[in-house]
Amino acid sequence: MINVLIIEDDPMVAEFNKRYLEQMEGFNLVSVSDDGAEAFQVLEQEKVDLILLDIFMPKLNGLEFLSEVRAKEAAVDVIVISAANDKVNINKAIRLGAVDYLIKPFEFERFESSLNRYKSKKFYFDRNKESSQEELDELLFRKDEQDVAGGNELPKGLTRETLSMVWNEIIGLDNDFSTDDLTFNVGISRVSTRKYLSFLTEIGVLESQTVYGSVGRPQTRYHRVPLSENIINNYL
> Which domains does the chain possess?
2-123 (3.40.50.2300), 143-232 (1.10.10.10)
Q: Is the pLDDT of residue 59 over 70?
A: yes
CB atoms within 10 A of CB 56: 14
- Give SS3 for 156: coil
Supply the pTM of this predicted model: 0.63
Percentage of residues in the chain having pLDDT higher than 70? 93
Q: What is the DSSP letter of 225?
A: P
d(CA 231, CA 233): 6
pLDDT-derived band at 148 (thresholds 50, 70, 90) equals very low
Q: Is the pLDDT of residue 145 over 60?
A: no
Mean predicted confidence (pLDDT) in 49-69: 92
**CA atoms within a 13 Å half-sphere pointing along the CA-CB vector of 9:** 15
